[in-house]
Structure 1
Amino acid sequence: MRDEFDCDVLVVGAGPTGLCTALMLEQHGVRVRIVDRKPGPVEQSRAAIVHARTLECLDRLGVADAAVARGVPITDVAIHSSGRHVGNMPLAGEGAADQTRFPYALALEQFETERILGEALDAEIEWGTEVVGLTDTGSGVDVETRSGMITARWLVGADGASSTIRKLLGQEFDGETYEQSGMLADVTLDVELGLQGMRLNLTPGGFVGILPLKSGRYRLFGVVPPYLHKAPAGDVTHESYAPLDHDVLQRWFDDYFKVDAKLEEIEWASMFRFHSRLASKFRVGNAFLAGDAAHIHNPAGGQGLNLGVGDAVNLAWKLSQVVKGEAPEWLLDTYEEERRPIARTVLKRTDLGFKLETGDSAIAVWMRTHVATRLVGVVSRLAPVRRMFFHMFSQLWIGYRGSRAVGRAVGQLKAGARAPYAPGLTHAPGYQVLLFSVPAVQFEGPVTTHLIPASDVATYRAYQVDGPRLVLIRPDGHVAAVAETAAGITAFLDTVLVRVQVRR
């Protein structure tokens, strides 16, 4: 049946979400094509923060080391008010090195992220290929482009906030557009600020920040007051970026950043609108939406690119198993069941943070000016608060408890939670079973086993094991089930895999 189609999966959109989807599918042996209406790769930095959970996802794809080599690890955000340092908030919490291989956020330009993923792909990206129509045939999808027809068993729309696929699927993109305008700029300065971390300046009108980049340039970002400049009106789209003049940018920098420096070179600068929107469905028949095509929000916390990569990894392993006949088709329904609530939660959190940061009421401005700056200095010294901030921004909190794609768990480890970090464990394309204090067993199908020796105290501690345990880990790094016997794991695998057997 697979030969009836030009490809198993057609991915529309060659941004980070689409590229991660295509790469994981390819690594799982799926025939994939990836098209994009742009003439070529982006040259701007755009999304420039990669959080810990996203680096873990990139690690599963074999490209995390390349990303870290091309980026700048950021562990703290230095908070300033009117140029005065008032405290630090962590992007690496207390004990973060015990929680993840990547206890930091990574400053990495989007074009670098895309380049790294593209270099790992075997498939050629078909640039300049615009989708103009699609028909779901029931058994697959016929996708009409300006250069011809492509038939695929499944379609993934990862084509950004102005998604053509979302519109062709008739999906609403409900939410709001904020009155405030935002600005992004990559610049060089006539002073060296160093690479020690991110700097965030609280102002009466909102927030602005400086992020160091590997190239020696700095990313400037934040809210722009209406009197200075306005972003373009129009559709909900990242194509609404508008160019900036040097004098406007310098004025903004002087008025709001409170740094005694001049802008030497402006590599890229643009205005944009802030949006908060969520697609009504993430799956329609044989088509899926992922990344900005499914959800878009304001930039508080730098969550956007990271949320899209999470979508990609969640969807791609499920698609690969269904395509290869290893899993029942209902597994694909759990993509929306798992990821849409996560996106909704992130939207609510970033909306709240953004409104606190930018509200223009007298109370909001007074709170930012007189209370928030003092509070930051106090709470940033508290270890529980530092852990909380790292956990929240890093997206390590994301879990799928209650999903049909996870089973039961005994002991303290929860099914659906992100699998704890353990340095000695390696990744595998399918499910993995960790064996703690139980005899070695082998499971048929896309399942590998790892016997954890009693001497590996760190892994036993990380997985909170105090007796015989088998821990089943999904291909996306989340706990699928925890049992005391092999029969408990097999009972769950029988629901999500086809013809699973166990051999002793």
Structure 2
Amino acid sequence: MSTIDSDVLIVGAGPTGLMLGCQLAIHGINFRIVEKNIEPSVQSRALVIHSRTLEIFDQMKIVDKFFEQGITLNGFNMIFNGKYYGKLDYTLFQKDDLTKFPYLLVIEQYRTEQILENYLKEKYHHIVERSTELINFTQNNDNSVCVTLKRSLDEFVNIQTKYICACDGAHSTVRKKLNVAFPGTTYLEPFFLIDCEINFNDDENKFPRQESTFVFSSNGLIAFFPLINNRWRIIGTMPEELRDGKSIVTFEKIEKDFSKRSNINVELFNNHWISTYNCHHRYALEFRLRKCYFLLGDAAHIHSPFGGQGMNTGLQDAFNLGWKLALVLKKRVINDDQLLDTYNEERQRVAQNLVHTTDRAFRGLTSNNNYIKFIRLHILPIIFQCILFPLINHVRFIRHYFFKKLSQIGIHYRRSSLSLPYDMFNNCQLKCGDRLPSCVIEHFHDMQYFHLLIFESVNENHQEKLFCSHITRYYKDIIKMSLFDPLKVYVYELFGIDTLNGGWYLIRPDMYIACRATTFNIDHFENDIKQLFSISRKMDSK
């Protein structure tokens, strides 16, 4: 038995655990990441990466690696009973300037894991400790945790850590040992998942390679997503004859009569992977427990694959927690618990809303209830063709609302303790807790700092200079200032700033608005920073 110390122990090296490791490495935090499996996964699993996650990868300067190995989706096609009823055209969002990445990226999960793991290894020399399983842990009187790990060949290791971050999936060992409630249900409807190639017998109805297609028929739902190397991901409701739980589901059995069941004239061949599963919707009632433990990703919430939200939500859990742990471990905040509790406050609410939303949508799209089935096959296509698609195509605010929901750029923390509930920006659409607008967010790649946006006034302002000097003197190591010129009128209008008086916005390291003001009052700023973050200031010795 040996003892090794680490500030943070990450359990699980899937996308969520690797993302948390990347964030902690960026902040220079001492951590270990363990994974019980011997080798990295080679299964495709989760596929879709949304705009908000792509923005994070862009800040990490690795987004190009994802595009090199994935396919961008520019639309969703809808087919009901073999008839085409229209498309949600993602190219419409490209002219709205909502994000630098107005589309979906399809990339197999194992490739996402490879990119993140290589980032950790190549840039920060961190390695994943594989064949290493968490066996048990006990909390000490000083709130540190003693953890027993099992390596291969029955070698047991004890380590001391300050925090355990459970990224070990839906069957989380950490969550179970903490006896955390994980309420929800499992859908009875079984699904199959196949990665294979497709031969389209009818060239006129061949699916575009940069679009996904959803096919509804009396036999259920089937979704097609393009993969690289001329392959397709196919997800569908299990054929009736294979639902008895006794039959071994094989590619050959799914492929048999596939064209007849889907009303699509295709042949499936060259199978790469097949899996079956039942969908769930559950979320833990707490994401932070007993001061030392955090639940992230599937360990904290699982839901239907509708909208491809699962992996993205886990990645953003990690992005939210990383900088908060870093501030605490670097002793930059006075009240550790106040800051760390906001992880549960912010992300549990996101997961709860997501589970409820995807649950309602999934039940409507897959239910075998005859009444719902009739609506799905005969009423829903008319709604899509005659109402929903035309509204999205021609009504901008509806298009924006839909895109923000799906892409996750609309997630906000307005009700968080880290967002001031009041200010003098009554006529500004931006609120504290909102994500930083895309025209600004793409210019900030340094995730180790808060960012203070200084909107300079047209007139010479002595108070403004004193304010900036104060920030440099006391917060130089934690806040970076960026100055905006009054000539950029459109930016001032977007942020609700008067060019005559100027103002400032304080942006969190995860690019969400914390607080703001239309005056350069130092006491005002100090009160805000103390109320929100309890940050301890350090005077510049120079």
State TM-score, norm by structure 2.
0.86
Structure 2 counterpart of 1:321, from 320, 327, 332? 327
Of residues 266-275 and 182-191 in structure 1, the stretch that sits farther from structure 2 once superposed is 182-191
Taking structure 1 as the reference length, the TM-score comes to 0.92
Deviates more, 1:86-95 or 1:218-227: 86-95
Residue 221 of structure 2 aligns with which residue? Answer: 207
Which residue is equivalent to 1:236?
none
d(CA) in 1 for partners of 2:150, 2:207? 48
Cα pair distance change 1:427/1:204, threshold 3 Å: same
Q: Which amino acid aligns with 2:235?
A: F
Task: Pick the aligned partner of 2:164 from 137, 155, 167.
Answer: 155
SS at match of 1:404: coil
Q: Residue 417 of structure 1 aligns to a residue in which SS?
A: coil
Q: Is the 8 A contact 1:21 1:312 kept in 2?
A: yes
Give the SS at the match of 2:78.
strand
Offset at 1:91?
Answer: 4.7
Supply the AA of the counterpart residue of 1:490: E
- Quick check: 2:81–2:218 contact (8 Å CA) kept in 1? no
Moved more, 212-221 or 187-196: 187-196
Q: Which residue of 2 aligns with 1:309?
A: 315
Alignment of 1:337-376 (within 5 A): 337-376=345-384
Structure 2 CA distance for partners of 1:502 and 1:462, relative to 1, 3 Å: farther
Q: How many residues align?
A: 491
The one-letter amino acid of 1:144's match is: T
Does the 8 A contact of 1:203 with 1:368 survive in 2? no
Aligned residue for 2:439, secondary structure, equals coil
Measure the CA separation in 1 of the matches of 2:136 and 2:538. Answer: 43
Give the stretch that moved more between structures: 140-149 or 361-370. Answer: 140-149
* In the alignment, structure 1 residue 492 sits paired with structure 2 residue 528: yes
> 1:279, 1:295 within 8 Å by CA — same for their partners in 2?
yes
Of 496, 505, 516, which aligns to 1:471?
505
The gaps in structure 2 that reach 5 residues or longer are: 152-156, 201-205, 458-463
Q: Distance in 2 between matches of 1:410 and 1:225?
A: 59
| Deviations, residues 329-379 of structure 1 (Å, cap 9, x unaligned) | 120000001110110000010000001101111111110111101111122
For 1:186, give the aligned amino acid: D
Partner Cα distance (1:252, 1:400) in 2: 48
Q: Secondary structure at the match of 1:317?
A: helix
Match for 2:147 among 136, 143, 149? Answer: 143
Q: Distance in 2 between matches of 1:12 and 1:180?
A: 31
Report deviation, 1:459. Answer: 3.3
Query: 1:501: how far off?
Result: 6.7
| 1:30-65 deviation per Cα after TM superposition (whole angstroms, max 9, x unaligned) | 011100111121111100001111111222332222
Q: Does 1:261 align with 2:297?
A: no
Q: Find out whether 1:127 has 2:130 as its counterpart.
A: yes
* Residue of structure 1 in register with 2:203 after alignment: none
Match of 1:416 in 2: 433
Matches within 5 A, 1:69-84: 69-84=68-83
Q: Which residue of 2 aligns with 1:198?
A: 212
Larger deviation: 192-201 or 368-377? 192-201
Tell me by how many angstroms 1:261 deviates: 2.3
Question: What is the CA-CA distance between 1:145 and the residue it aligns to?
Answer: 1.4
Q: Which moved more, 1:4-13 or 1:213-222?
A: 4-13
After TM superposition, the structure 1 = structure 2 runs for residues 227-242 of structure 1, keeping only pairs within 5 Å, are: 227-229=241-243
AA aligned opposite 1:288? F
Residue 431 in structure 1 maps to residue 431 in structure 2: no
Q: In structure 2, what is the equivalent of residue 47 of structure 1?
A: 46
Q: Which amino acid aligns with 2:302?
A: I
Provide the C-alpha distance between the structure 2 equivalents of 1:459 and 1:74, rounded to a whole number of angstroms.
Answer: 30
- Tell me which residue corresponds to 2:154: none
One-letter amino acid matched to 1:248:
K
Shift of 1:190: 2.8
Cα deviation, 1:453-487, whole Å, max 9, x if unaligned, reads: 22334533443434422111111111111112343
Residue type of the alignment partner of 2:192: M
Q: Does residue 389 in structure 1 map to residue 402 in structure 2? A: yes
Q: Which position in structure 2 is the counterpart of 1:220? A: 234
Change (3 A) 1:84 1:9: same
Which residue type is aligned with residue 141 of structure 1? V
1:478 partner letter: Y
How far apart in 2 are the matches of 1:230 and 1:319? 48
C-alpha distance after superposition, 1:296-344 (max 9, x if no partner): 0011111100110111101111001101111231200000011101100
Contact 1:422 1:458 in 2 (8 A): no
Structure-2 change in CA distance of 1:375 and 1:493 (3 Å): same
C-alpha root-mean-square deviation of aligned residues, in Å?
A: 2.2
Task: Select the structure of larger CA radius of gyration.
Answer: 2
Deviates more, 1:311-320 or 1:223-232: 223-232
Alignment pair present for 1:401 and 2:414: yes
The DSSP-based 3-state class of the residue aligned with 1:265 is strand
Aligned equivalent of 2:305: 299
Cα distance in 1 for residues equivalent to 2:88 and 2:12: 35
The residue type paired with residue 426 of structure 1 is F
Structure 2 CA distance, aligned partners of 1:150 and 1:200? 49
- Give the drift of 1:90: 4.5
Q: CA 1:466/1:183 → structure 2, altered by over 3 Å: closer, same or farther?
A: farther
Which residue among 474, 477, 481 is the counterpart of 2:515? 481
Q: Quick check: 2:77–2:87 contact (8 Å CA) kept in 1?
A: yes
Task: Indicate if the aligned counterparts of 2:23 and 2:319 stay in contact, CA closer than 8 A.
Answer: yes
Among 177, 182, 189, the residue aligned to 1:180: 189
Q: CA distance change for structure 1 residues 149 and 255 in 2, over 3 Å: closer, same or farther?
A: farther
Following the alignment from structure 1 to structure 2, what is the Cα–Cα distance between the partners of residues 321 and 180? 45
Shift of the 168–401 alpha-carbon distance from structure 1 to 2, 3 Å rule, reads same
